[in-house]
Structure 1
Amino acid sequence: MAGSGFESLERCLEKHLPLAELQEVKRVLYGKETRKLDLPSAALEAASRGDFELQGYAFEAAAEQQRKPQTVRVGLVQNRTPLPADTPVVKQVTTLHRRMEAIVEVAATCGVNIICFQEAWTMPFAFCTREKLPWTEFAESAEDGPTTKFCQELARKHGVVVVSPILERDSAHGDVLWNTAVVISSSGAVLGKTRKNHIPRVGDFNESTYYMEGNLGHPVFQTRFGRIAVNICYGRHHPLNWLMYSLNGAEIVFNPSATIGALSESLWPIEARNAAIANHCFTCAINRVGQEHFPNEFTSGDGKKAHRDFGYFYGSSYVAAPDGSRTPGLSRTRDGILVAELDLNLCRQVNDIWGFKRPGLRPAFRPRSWPAAAL
């Protein structure tokens, strides 16, 4: 359990480093400093009452002569499952709905335009167990299930786009299960869905016993606040996954996840940030917090003793920009919402400067009439 009580890297640095050294360390770790947002006092008070963290930062882009700033605020939500895993399914889902209702209320007060919840947010991450009941009972229709209807109400009430990752039951196609994110417009319409493209078979992550790789490709959704995509959890380990969302036009790629300290924490600060740099887009990495204990022991096929949990989820949600800068992370131990103000003009500006995608894609985009020497 080493590290499960460690609040955050940022708090540790702030506690032990003098201000001048702290600023230099943050410059090296995080790139250009992000401006701290002046969030409403009512939102901060509500977050305190609700016992969740609230942070806000802004990324700047250069002023342009022919385009106005394209400013959008995103909200990243991380949370623990508030009830024991053996609580009745409907009670667990309802409790999480109420929790998100309070958090989205605060996000709306902060001017958030697009909000994204963590992977499989309505349930414990039970895919380690390989058991079917009761965990498959959390699965819902992406189009008209109770969670989608709940998120539609949130979207209409607050005028926000909602990204809702759920366990999907596709009743129209043989009751197949998928790990899915539903995208709901600010008017409450279901814009569509995307499915997890890569499924881990690593350690306790036995997810292929529930669902397989998605079959919807790399969809990008046009919202009134910009073009967004959802690269669910394990997809962040695959550079070409990020690239495909970028080539399809995404300006913001959300990465709702559920990942544990012993397995991936050293990778976490690198992958989404590197994807933002390589693909000239904003990336939003979201991870749940806490531990989840299951009624029955399970093994991992690695010779180790059977156990009822698979470690701690370390939170640390953050946003990275195409210029390599990033926000500090949320706590490793607390529920929270990170508000980030983005100027989408930065995507094109960095693309024009660095052009990382151009050399590799040039042969693919070469018109037949162009001679090779012209390239």
Structure 2
Amino acid sequence: MAATVTLGLVQMACSPDPEANTARTLERIEAAANQGAQIICTQELFRTQYFCRTEDTACFALAEAIPGPTTEQLSKLAHQYQVVIVGSLFERRAPGLYHNTAVVLDADGKLLGTYRKMHIPDDPGYYEKFYFTPGDLGFKSYATRYGKIGVLVCWDQWFPEAARLTAASGAQILFYPTAIGWHSSQSEPLNRDQHDAWEVIQRGHSVANGVYVAAVNRVGVEGEMRFWGQSFVSDPLGRMLTRGSAHEEQILLVECALERIEDTRQNWPFWRDRRIDAYGDLQRRFVD
């Protein structure tokens, strides 16, 4: 594995046409690869607009099998450009059984693994429990050609346990394909507070685990939702290496020096000092 790796984050707005969204995403993956990206990540559910804004059984037709047609397209690009691709898809596992799933394609085009979103929200405008069965594959990492990575999805961002367990499996970089934004009725101060909380907790995952974090969010207005973009990468000290626009489509490229992980963990030995013998109550919903 290389001492450094260049990440490519594809931040886009989506139209109602899944095929057009897929084509535009593939074009941007190619562009990122041509600019030197080695691991490229899409935003959450890049093929479609964020359909979970409402509960509608017609939206289940948007799902596909994994492996399936989109996985095949991503695999061909990964092989052609010798890049690792993390893609977020709506998986049809069986009749009536659907997941919010991320696929990891290695640089030879092989489907290295899948991650099914574990934490499923149910809030106004985010009715994901209607569509997605909670993941059953656990938290894990994938040894790609360019480094060991972990993948979590959007709402997983708020749970330090998910980041910890993924990092504990060896991940050097945590990728978070994301679709998060503001409702049109919200005030600007509330918008700022929500965005700041979203960014801070993920930078905290970098610090607590001594890893890189890459969050890839969509932009654009869909119904009453304005997605806030601002995809970013933070290093093992939580420093912001890049942050995208709140409004514009972008390809963000970031070089990550993987030796910083070891350096950071030597000086901030959180892994050494963890009291794993004292954390049993984490398996309880609430400690009375």
TM-score by length of 2: 0.89
**What residue in structure 2 maps to residue 315 of structure 1?**
229
State the one-letter code of the partner of 1:128: R
- 1:199 corresponding residue in structure 2: 120
Alignment of 1:112 with 2:37, yes or no, is yes
Aligned length: 270
Is 1:351 the counterpart of 2:265? The answer is yes
| Alpha-carbon distance change, 98 to 348 in structure 1, aligned in 2, over 3 angstroms | same
Q: Secondary structure at the match of 1:328?
A: strand
Moved more, 235-244 or 97-106: 97-106
Aligned identity (percent) is 32
Distance 1:210 1:69 in 2: 39
- Worse-superposed segment, 264-273 or 331-340: 264-273
Match of residue 227, structure 1, among 148, 154, 175: 148
TM-superposition CA deviations, 1:237-291 (whole Å, max 9, x none): 0111100001010000001111113563232221211100110110001110011
- TM superposition shift of 1:96: 1.5
Corresponding residue number in structure 2 for 1:75: 8
Give the aligned partner of residue 138 of structure 1: 62
Counterparts of 1:69 and 1:139, CA distance in 2: 36
1:70 deviates by 0.7
Q: Tell whether 2:252 aligns with 1:338.
A: yes
Aligned to 1:268: 198
- Bigger proportion of residues as strand: 2
Tell me the residue number matched to 1:287.
217
1:1-375 equivalence runs, <5 A: 70-81=3-14, 83=15, 85=16, 92-133=17-58, 135-143=59-67, 145-171=68-94, 174-261=95-182, 262=186, 264-293=194-223, 309=224, 311-363=225-277
* CA distance, structure 2, for counterparts of residue 248 and residue 331 of structure 1: 32
Q: Distance in 2 between matches of 1:136 and 1:73?
A: 35
Q: Distance in 2 between matches of 1:239 and 1:98?
A: 34
Whole-Å Cα distance in 1 between the matches of residues 26 and 2 of structure 2? 30
Partners of 1:141 and 1:290 lie apart in 2 by: 27
User: Gaps (5+ residues) in structure 1?
Assistant: 1-67, 86-91, 294-308, 366-375
Give the Å deviation of 1:362.
4.6
> What is aligned with 2:285?
none
Task: Determine if contact 1:69/1:345 at 8 Å carries over to the other structure.
Answer: no
Cα distance in 1 for residues equivalent to 2:62 and 2:2: 41
| Cα separation, 2, equivalents of 1:346 and 1:361 | 24
Q: CA shift at 1:114, angstroms? A: 0.5
Partners of 1:175 and 1:185 in 2: how far apart?
30
Give the partner amino acid of 2:11.
Q
Are the counterparts in 1 of residues 25 and 46 from structure 2 also a CA contact under 8 Å?
no
Equivalent residue, structure 2, for 1:6: none
CA contact (8 A) 2:158 2:198 kept: no
Question: Could you tell me which amino acid in structure 2 is paired with residue 141 of structure 1?
Answer: A
CA distance in 1, matches of 2:103, 2:155: 17
Q: Which runs of 5+ in 2 are unaligned?
A: 280-288
Separation in 2, partners of 1:339, 1:94: 25
Moved over 6 A (4+): none
Q: Give TM-score scaled by structure 1 length.
A: 0.69
- 1:175 deviates by 4.4
Task: Give, in whole Å, the separation in 2 of the partners of 1:123 and 1:182.
Answer: 16
Higher RCO (CA-CA < 8 Å; seq separation 6+): 1
Deviation (angstroms), 1:212: 2.6
| 1:44 corresponds to | none
Which residue identity is paired with 2:86?
V
Contact persistence 2:242–2:254 (CA under 8 A): no
Q: How big is each residue's C-alpha offset from its partner over 1:196-236, in whole Å with a ceiling of 9 and x where there is no partner?
A: 11011222211101113211000211101011111100011
Superposed CA deviations along residues 47-88 of structure 1, whole A, max 9, x for unmatched, are xxxxxxxxxxxxxxxxxxxxx97111111111011x3x3xxx
Across the aligned residues of Structure 1 and Structure 2, the Cα RMSD in angstroms comes to 1.7
